[in-house]
Chain A
Amino acid sequence: MWKWLHPYAKPERAYQLCNTLLPWFALPAVVCLVVGTIWGLAYAPQDYQQGDSFRIIYIHVPSAMLSMSTYVAMAIAALVGMVWQWRTAYMAMIAMAPVGAVMTFIALLTGAAWGKPMWGAWWVWDARLTSELILLFLYFGVIALYTAFEDKQQAGKAAGVMALVGVVNIPIIHYSVEWWNTLHQGSTITKFDKPSIATEMLWPLLLNIFGFALFIALVTTMRLKNEIIRREMHRPWVQMLVKQKETNDAV
């Protein structure tokens, strides 16, 4: 069933796929982010309780949600690398790690900036905030492990184990607000009920979530391209590529 995927395990094919995908991520990402952010920050109505301060939701929620999704994607890549022994899967994993770490950091930062005026505190050691901080450390762990090894095949395996074990944190983050007493409120949109946000506030939020996702995909593809080139530097196809580029530039 998944046989059609196998050719993409080859770095050369993966590189070509990245090139094909890039423009499809780039343009929609920019459109979604620009429209969603301007709509959310300038045109969405005020919240009945929080006034204009609630607008930070348009950055906070997408970055927090996608910090988790990116982690899951990274762990899936690690799993594929481990079971099918694809080198490209490990490259994809390490391409995602810093992007996810930055998303987590943005989520924590905007959360703190939102918490101060609304709750009255920058930081509280409640279950949601703490588990999201642990997610940041997990990302750091994966990156650090990967860079610690000279042999990148070995590095991918070690970092992959770390990434896979860390998946256990994802459901904890998501359900922390239900399992324990927390200062952080419950989920607004990621639940089976109707979202508890007015429709005219929801649309720009969805746009921004979508835009953040595309943006992450875009940056990941760009990083993956670099990673493939760096690892395959001495292969004939890369040297062909370089030569081609040189002749193109000369003309």
Chain B
Amino acid sequence: MNPRRKQRLLVVSLVGALVMGAVGLMLFALTDSIDLFYTPTQIVDGREGVKPQVGQRLRIGGMVVPGSVNRDSESLAVSFDLVDTGPAITVRYQGILPDLFREGQGIVATGTLLAGNVIEAHEVLAKHDEEYMPPELAEQMKGIKHVKPANNGG
């Protein structure tokens, strides 16, 4: 490589490295705002020492605790518990749940934090994992019985 090209390459890589560094630091500083949701543990114990306040609007993401789903027989109201690795948070919601909502499923809910670790949600989204497999295999590996989605006209 002749010296002029070498110099240009050096300048370009230097500028590139600087931009990378700047963006990296920025994203690191913004981690809290970029995270889509709080985990239940973060709501109870706080994230980086900051606990969400009662009345704060937030998103929570966690697994639905099996056996914790309570549906009201008169209305669309439903309540369930979410956990990650620590304590559970109760979510109350009124509306239609996504198709993928089931016990053990990852859920992201948007709502207001009430006293006593309860969240009044106005939106519930289902989070699915990155595993794809046919129903027979899932039954073998995980013991999950496939529930066919209701798209067969019935």
Q: Chain A 81-120 against B: per-residue CB contact (8 Å), 1 yes, 0 no? A: 0111000000000000000000000000000000001111
The SS class assigned to the B binding surface is mixed
A42 at the interface (CB under 8 A from B): no
Contacts of B134 in A (CB 8 A): 45-48, 198, 200-201
Number of interface residues of A (CB under 8 A): 43
Whether the Cβ atoms of B98 and A119 lie closer than 8 Å is yes
Contact among A54, A168, A187, A200 with B20 in the assembled complex (CB-CB below 8 Å): A168
A124 close to chain B: CB less than 8 A: yes
Q: Are A126 and B36 interface neighbours, CB within 8 A?
A: yes
Q: Is the interface of A mostly helix, strand, loop or mixed?
A: loop
Q: Are B149 and A57 in contact (CB under 8 A)?
A: no
CB-CB < 8 A to A182: which residues of B?
Answer: 36
For A2, give the chain B residue with the smallest CB separation.
B1
Asked if A121 and B36 make an inter-chain contact with CB atoms under 8 angstroms apart, the answer reads no
For A119, the closest partner residue in chain B by CB is B125
Tell whether A196 is near chain B: CB-to-CB under 8 Å: yes
State the Cβ distance, B128 to closest chain A Cβ, in Å: 6
Q: Which residues of A contact B77 (CB under 8 A)?
A: none
Does B29 interact with chain A (Cβ within 8 Å)? no
Question: Is A135's CB within 8 Å of the partner chain B?
Answer: no
Contact A164 B126 (CB under 8 A): no
Residues of A within 8 A of B139 (CB): 48
Residues of B within 8 A of A48 (CB): 133-135, 137-139, 144, 146
Binds A, one of B5-13, B68-76, B112-120: B5-13
Q: Is A49 an interface residue when CB atoms closer than 8 A count as contact?
A: yes
B131 is an interface residue with CB less than 8 A from chain A: yes
> Are B132 and A185 interface neighbours, CB within 8 A?
no
What CA separation (Å) do A126 and B139 show in the bound complex?
32
Identify which of B100, B129, B137, B151 contacts A52 (C-beta below 8 A): B151
A20 to chain B, nearest CB (A): 28
List CB contacts (< 8 Å) of B134-154 with chain A. Answer: 134-139, 144, 146, 148-149, 151
Partner of B132, one of A54, A79, A117, A181: A54
Give residues 95-126 of B contacting A (CB, 8 Å): 97-100, 108, 123-126
User: A48-B137, A180-B36, A181-B36 given as contacts; is B125 within 8 A of A120 (CB)?
Assistant: yes
A-binding residues in B (CB < 8 A)? 5, 8-9, 12, 16, 19-20, 23, 27, 31, 34-37, 39, 61, 97-100, 108, 123-139, 144, 146, 148-149, 151
